[in-house]
Amino acid sequence: MNLTDLGIAAIRDGVRDGAFSAREVAGAFNAAIETGRALNAFTVETPEHALAAADAADAARASGDLKPLSGVPLGIKDLFATRGVATTAGSRILEGFEPRYESTVSANLFAAGAGMLGKLNMDEFAMGSSNETSAWGPVLSPWRRSDGGNAPLTPGGSSGGSAAAVAARLAPGVTGTDTGGSIRQPAAFVGITGIKPTYGRCSRWGVVAFASSLDQAGPMARDVRGCAILLEAMAGFDPKDSTSLDLPVPNWEAALSGDVRGKRIGIPKEYRIDGVPEEIDRVWEKGIALMRDAGAEIVEVSLPHTKYALPTYYIIAPAEASSNLARYDGVRYGLRVSPDNGNLTDMYEATRAAGFGAEVKRRIMIGTYVLSAGYYDAYFNRAQKVRALIARDFERVWGECDLILTPTAPSAAFALGEKSADPIAMYLNDVFAVPASLAGLPAISVPAGLNDEGLPLGLQLVGRALDEQGVLNAALALEERAGFTARPEAWW
Amino acid sequence: MTDYRIHGATGEWEVVIGLEVHAQVTSNAKLFSGASTEFGAEPNSQVSLVDAAMPGMLPVPNAECIRQAVRTGMALEARINPWSRFDRKNYFYADLPQGYQISQLYHPIVGEGEIEIWLDDKDEGSAKRIGVERIHIEQDAGKLMHDQHPSFSYVDLNRSGVALMEIVSKPDMRSPEEAGAYVRKLRAILRYVGSCDGNMEQGSMRADVNVSVRRPGGGLGTRTETKNVNSVRFIMAAIEHEANRQVDLLEAGGAIVQETRLWDPDKCETRSLRSKEEAHDYRYFPDPDLLPVELTDDFLLECRASLPELPDAKRRRYEAALGLSAYAASVLTADVITARWFESLLEQLGEEHAQRAGNWVTSDLFGALNRLGKTIEESPVSPAQAAELLRLTAEGTLSGTLAKQVFEIMLETGEDPAAIVEARGLKQTSDTGAIDAAIADVLAANPDKAAEYRGGKDKLFGFFVGQVMKAMQGKANPGVVNELLKKALS
Amino acid sequence: MSVDAATVRHIAKLARIAVSDAEVEALAPELNNILGWVEQLQEVDIEGVEPIPAVIPNSLRLRDDEVTDGGKREDVLANAPAAEHGFFAVPKVIE
Ligand SMILES: [Mg+2]
Ligand SMILES: [Zn+2]
């Protein structure tokens, strides 16, 4: 048995039952990461951290006080501050930054017994859908097209390193963050499962901010159960985050059930958009059929403002980012570029020019523009109101259905470089993911099949606020019936 | 009151003044972090990771700062907004770690209010009401030091994130005196409420001074804003200088630019900051890290209930109920510490003696403290001791002169008056035997004067009184002395 | 509405990002495309719609006024590109 083939639950249970030691597990994944460097999934490898947690787990087992994640090694997206371990958010401007603090989410995972295999590569400041904006180079998807051509593919983004690591069996599970699809789209691109919980479920404290009103952390793993287990450990009220929800964390795993009989699954007609490849419609239809077969009731619903979600997002997210990223000024941490006998402003401008990549600069500029004098009402304030309408659409639709089923992304993984020239084409990747982000709703992506080129396609389930359980259960029903077992061949 | 006017070459000008006062909220911890607000600590020793704007750090508001702003608003009879919100004011500066200041633009916590000022302590008629536009809560910035290193400025973030109230007046002031009275009155109210210590030397209160000039009654002129003026004297001086500068400029055919200026206390002038000012565009928007501030009725009730009697109410009560003069009432209520001192004195002396006590405090005590260069907090004489001194005088145990002697000794030694009277035998006497003896001696020593008096030179009586008192070392009861002298001389 | 080179420079100035002439050339059309694309929001009827402060209902919690933090200068300065005598150091500011 190859330990790296095991998912979260199997590892946890195996360690508990003594089928193998936590140290063996950590060792196996540490080795896999070494051999998987060609994927560029990790920005930092922390084998000792994983081994130390493993030894603690083995000791805990001996003394009979195992924790929920004892023996489970995880990858942590580089957006999470990790004490004493370089945290760069995929940006040159944070090169060499070693936080003296631990993000609440990673701290929760470690407190639950998990170890850290390393930090995962990502789009710079989580701004991107292909991982090509990372200052540390793009992550390669472990998948390749079946056409024999070995065109390197994107794992999606911004949690591209997270997605690639799980798909390539370099980690059984990882953390991701999702501002406008950054967990769900990469999960779909590499054939794994990833859930963005309700906004406020996971603390944002210690997570490098992109767009505060949208950022949510979530788990990515090989299956639905793995996500349920990880989310349970990650989530929880945090008084250090004013937007954190003061609610108990449900026992999602214990209540996990693929029984969706009588559930009403909404199919939003506005999600059938022109120019989407037919393979996407096909997998969507497949998902609809599977849910019906599982005993769910399929109802067509309408989310009239869907088409405005993406432009709304591309005003609000850059606006918040332009302000959130002002702190990267070369004064207290990270990169500083000081032109000879330049003044403070020269230092700011040189530092930020050298430290930020093209996409981040683009979004800071857009955000600065839409907030600037004379444009605030026309752009930002209007977008805030449209956001309210989009949230209202969902509110209304919950009267007609319990969950919404859509494709996760409008296409399968594309080749590196294919879209990087055209920002808007890149943004369109998140057309199906963004509405749930704007409404703060829980949403999951589950692998549902392969396209003709042998690449994974994912389906998205969106639920009511706080109904992660409903989302996970419906996802499990899909997973059980989709029978997705495909995995990339190790070419790395 | 007579209107303040600047007499220019082309005629008279009226000055229009509005003030934005930044008052540091009295709190243990900062507005959005748990770091201390203590003044004068080691550089960067009172800085949390939030104040240093480390990546991923988030603000959590301090309840006390909200409460103090609300209580201050109530003290200014202002509208309290049960729903307010924090906005980000975006700009880059080395003392602003986040790259934005968390403030309140669109929905401040306190709306319109009023402050009554008196230009003349003695004259109710000099009262004027100055409008308050709003009060909002915001973060203070850090401190820059430019003189420590040839090529570096140093940044200390201890102040970064300390809570400020920005109290914005309406452009209702028309003279430096009115502005000075406004700031003094505002400071007094803040100190009564306990929401700000009003310590201008330590920067707990700073004012941005908005000044414009116009022909009397004409339309508003273009205003300039002189930033961070940190004493009442400087505020008044800055207004006077700036108003005259504007008049000279206008009369020379120039135009006023709306700009930010800086007060130079050494040169005693305002200077333009245009040099280092490129177009400001603060890009305010609601802070997505924070939810709206929604005040509950219970919270508001507690704020209201915890307000002390305020200076105006106190002054009116001192006049109406205690019968103090307008002057004494306003002097005794001008600062919360003085009022507390006076009231603890009254507690022990009894309110029926309020007038005498008031006069004694405003004349004898203040006179002495002035002489000693001490504040009332440093007074060597406690309210209890003062009460005892006044009681001894009231009983007739001490004459006015004796009381003054005893008071002087109290100031030096801090001893209780009774003890002093005992130890030094300073009791006043009505012992007729001793007084008659003294009179006999005086008359024997001055037979000629006695004859002149008896011959009708009445005004010599005072001379004999003085001599007798002298012989009695001032301890004789003046009434008795008069009576017995008259007998002896008739 | 169209973003010209001057506007790009002004925005870059506000954002404190140095831009070369070549970058300005490249950015102007890019920003125009994106802004032109989001223009479609102008067609949405937002009559009487108010922004929602929090899409997931939640209310602000206030912290007690207790000193629970600070006293960690070493941590605060640990990552500073330039720190001296307990201060952050920046290019001299002339006021
Ligand atoms: Mg101001
Ligand atoms: Zn202010």
Tens of pLDDT, residue by residue over A410-434, are 999 999 999 988 999 899 999 999 9
- Chain A segment 91-130 residues within 8 A of B by beta carbon are 94, 97, 99-101, 103
Best of A97, A365, A381, A437 to substitute, by most chain C Cβ atoms within 10 angstroms, is A365
- For B69-88, what is the mean pLDDT? 98
Which residue, among B373, B429, B378, B380, has the nearest Cα to B402 in the 3D structure? B429
Question: Is A322 an active-site residue?
Answer: no
Q: Quickly count: other Cβ atoms within 10 Å of residue A164's Cβ.
A: 35
Question: One of A67, A77, A196, A263 is an active-site residue; which one?
Answer: A77
Question: Residues B201-237: pLDDT tens digits?
Answer: 889 999 999 999 999 989 999 999 999 999 999 999 9
Q: List the single residue in A322, A388, A423 with the smallest CB-CB distance to C50.
A: A388
Q: What is the rounded distance in angstroms from the CA atom of residue A394 to the CA atom of residue B489?
A: 111
Coil, helix or strand at residue A446:
strand
Span from the CA of A333 to the centroid of ligand 2 (angstroms): 27
- For A147-165, what is the mean pLDDT? 95
Instruction: Encode B269-293 in three state secondary structure.
Output: EEEECHHHCCCCCCCCEECCCCCCE
Contact criterion met (CB < 8 Å) for B58 and A241: yes
Contact criterion met (CB < 8 Å) for A372 and C11: yes
Which residue, among A141, A16, A135, A134, has the nearest Cα to A72 in the 3D structure? A16
Side-chain half-sphere of B172: how many Cα atoms within 13 Å?
16
Q: What is the rounded distance in angstroms from the CA atom of residue A216 to the CA atom of residue A195?
A: 10
Contact criterion met (CB < 8 Å) for B44 and C16: no
Give chain B's mean pLDDT: 93
Question: Is A411 an active-site residue?
Answer: no
- For A357-380, what is the mean pLDDT? 96
Question: Residues B102-115: pLDDT tens digits?
Answer: 999 999 999 999 99
pTM: 0.93
Evaluate if residue B436 carries a pLDDT over 70.
Answer: yes
For chain C, which residues score pLDDT lower than 70?
Answer: 1, 95
A167 close to A190: Cβ distance less than 8 angstroms:
yes
Q: Given this model, what pLDDT does residue B321 score?
A: 96
Long-range pairs of B204-208 with CB within 8 A, sequence gap ≥ 24: B204/B23, B204/B24, B205/B21, B205/B22, B205/B23, B205/B24, B205/B230, B206/B21, B206/B22, B206/B230, B207/B19, B207/B20, B207/B21, B207/B22, B207/B183, B207/B235, B208/B19, B208/B20, B208/B21, B208/B22
Question: Residue length, chain A?
Answer: 492
- Alpha-carbon torsion, ordered A202, A204, A210, A213, to 10 deg: 70
Q: How far is C61 from chain B (nearest CA, A)?
A: 8
Question: Is A77 an active-site residue?
Answer: yes
Q: Given this model, what pLDDT does residue B276 score?
A: 47
Q: Could you tell me the two tokens for A312?
A: 């709304």
Q: For residue A43, report the phi and psi dihedrals to the nearest 5 degrees.
A: -95, -30
For the ranges B126-140, B323-337, B390-404, which has the lowest average pLDDT?
B390-404
Q: CA triplet C66, C68, C73: central angle to 5 degrees?
A: 135
**CA distances in angstroms from B7 to A458, B118, B269, C1, listed in the order given:** 81, 25, 19, 50
Q: CA triplet B207, B211, B215: central angle to 5 degrees?
A: 155
Contact criterion met (CB < 8 Å) for A205 and B281: no
Q: How far is A283 from chain B (nearest CA, A)?
A: 37
Nearest chain A residue to B285 by CA distance is: A371
Q: CA triplet A178, A180, A185: central angle to 5 degrees?
A: 75
Residue B229 bridge partners (DSSP): B207
For the ranges A440-454, B179-193, B442-456, which has the lowest average pLDDT?
B442-456
C53 close to B292: Cβ distance less than 8 angstroms:
yes
B483 touches chain A (CB under 8 A): no
Ligand found nearest the CA of B163: 2
Which residue, among A287, A454, A329, A305, has the nearest Cα to A394 in the 3D structure? A305
A230 close to A193: Cβ distance less than 8 angstroms:
no
Q: How far is C37 from chain B (nearest CA, A)?
A: 22
Q: List the single residue in C14, C46, C60 with the smallest CB-CB distance to A386.
A: C46
Q: Quickly count: other Cβ atoms within 10 Å of residue B485's Cβ.
A: 22
Question: Residues A381-418: pLDDT tens digits?
Answer: 999 999 999 999 999 999 999 999 999 999 999 999 99
**CA distances in angstroms from B223 to B6, B217, B240, listed in the order given:** 16, 16, 14
Chain mean position to CA A25: 24
Residues of A in Cβ contact (< 8 Å) with B153: 344
Neighbouring chains to C with at least 3 Cβ pairs closer than 8 Å:
A, B
Q: Given this model, what pLDDT does residue C95 score?
A: 64
Long-range pairs of B333-342 with CB within 8 A, sequence gap ≥ 24: B334/B121, B334/B184, B334/B188, B335/B188, B335/B191, B336/B188, B336/B191, B336/B192, B336/B308, B336/B311, B337/B191, B337/B375, B337/B376, B337/B377, B338/B376, B339/B311, B339/B314, B341/B376, B341/B379, B341/B383, B342/B383
Give chain A's mean pLDDT: 97
Cis peptide before A158 (omega within 30 of 0): yes
Question: Residues A97-143: pLDDT tens digits?
Answer: 999 999 999 999 999 999 999 999 999 999 999 999 999 999 999 99
Which residue, among B180, C69, B205, has the nearest Cα to A239 in the 3D structure? C69
Residues of B in Cβ contact (< 8 Å) with C54: 291
Question: Residues B263-306: pLDDT tens digits?
Answer: 999 998 999 886 445 568 999 999 999 999 999 999 999 999 99
Q: Could you tell me the two tokens for C79?
A: 């990552």
CB neighbour class for A362 (10 Å; exposed up to 12, middle 13-18, buried from 19): buried
Confidence of residue B122 (pLDDT cuts 50, 70, 90): confident
Q: For residue A107, report the phi and psi dihedrals to the nearest 5 degrees.
A: -65, -40
A405 close to A475: Cβ distance less than 8 angstroms:
no
- For A42-66, what is the mean pLDDT? 97
A212 touches chain B (CB under 8 A): yes
Residues of A in Cβ contact (< 8 Å) with C17: 349, 352-353, 356, 361, 364-365
Q: Could you tell me the two tokens for A407?
A: 């494709």
Q: What is the rounded distance in angstroms from the CA atom of residue B454 to the CA atom of residue B448?
A: 10
Q: Given this model, what pLDDT does residue A149 score?
A: 83
